[in-house]
Amino acid sequence: MRCKHCDARLAPHDFWCANCGKQTQVINKDLSAWASLTKTWQKYLPHKGVNIPAAAFAIIAGVVPILLLLFLLNASGHLNLSQDQATGDLLLNLLLMAAAITVFLPMLLLPYKEVCAASGHSLVFKNLLHSLRQYPRYLFLSVISVLFFVIIYLICFGLPKFSSDPILRLVWIVLVNYFLALFLPVPVLMERLEASPWKAFKISYKNFHVVRWQLYLLALVLILINLAATTLAMVLLLFTLPLSWFAVRDYTDLLLKYEIIRKYK
């Protein structure tokens, strides 16, 4: 393989040309998130029915409780995060919303344990039940993730009577989108590298910057697919949730295959 900019010879997994320093076509061609998702869909489609029980469990134990708690918080006025209230009320509302998400979010992440153990694209329900013992580990992952959103909200939006600069609203949008790309491979890294949630975050931050846009694209597509399924008919999540798990696994495995975690000299 040769560099399209300077025609220098490249190794198969070179992300940057050693001669001209420009990015090679590996990122947009071999490591295309969209191409990986397409391949996953083709492999997942014949086995979609097998994954329904596991997806149903994740929906009942994760999606439904989160939506129900958010609905109750909104009905009781505790979903209000506006600046026209007392500081204590804002912090209480933020804490309640964070807790509601943190407790049940692991139920949507636990399947990664068995998805990474599976060789194909089938997730057996009884195997998923075995992964429940990993709840504390994924709870820690949820705590880190939700805490990040709480912190950036307080920094970018401020507190009542101590509001931040309006430009930080745009910074908040950037940080939220950046976190999507940063978080996406973390559950798979936890399993593949037997890493703690915090270490997996550090690995993703340090080593995956070269494909951050590809990770963001995959995260955005999967979020839109699942949001559309939730809005149109929640039963569609029975098909889109397992697809998301396998898509993230397959793309992260592809990155590991291409030795993206390595030291450059």
pLDDT digits (tens, 9 = 90+) for 116-170: 998 899 988 888 888 899 999 999 999 999 999 999 999 988 887 776 677 888 9
pLDDT tens digit string along 23-34? 667 777 889 999
Tokens representing residue 206 in the block: 């340090």
H-helix or E-strand spanning residue 228: helix 212-232
Identity of the residue numbered 214: Q
Measured in whole angstroms, how far is the alpha carbon of residue 184 from the centre of its chain?
Answer: 3
Contact predicate 245/123, CB 8 Å: yes
pLDDT tens string 45-75: 998 899 999 999 999 999 999 999 999 998 9
Give the C-alpha distances (Å, rounded to integers) separating 248 from 40, 51, 118: 9, 16, 14
- With cut-offs at 50, 70 and 90, classify the pLDDT of residue 14: low
Kindly report the pTM of this predicted structure. 0.89
- HSE-CB at 186 with a 13 A cutoff on CA atoms is 25
Q: Given this model, what pLDDT does residue 97 score?
A: 93
Tell me the chain's radius of gyration from C-alpha atoms. 20
Per-residue pLDDT at 114 exceeds 60:
yes
Q: What is the pLDDT of residue 252?
A: 97
CA distances from 179 to 18, 148, 250 (A): 30, 9, 20
220, 37 Cβ separation under 8 angstroms: no
Average pLDDT over residues 6-30: 65
| 14 vs 204 pLDDT, higher one | 204
Return the percent helix, strand and coil in the chain, to nearest 5: 75, 0, 25
**pLDDT for 7:** 54
3-state secondary structure of 9: strand
Q: What are the helix and strand counts (H, E) for the chain?
A: 13, 0
Confidence of residue 260 (pLDDT cuts 50, 70, 90): confident
Average pLDDT of the chain is 88
Q: For 195-229, how does the pLDDT look when each residue is reduced to its tens digit (9 = 90+)?
A: 999 999 999 999 999 899 999 999 999 999 999 99
**Range 174-182 average pLDDT:** 95
pLDDT beyond 80 at 193: yes
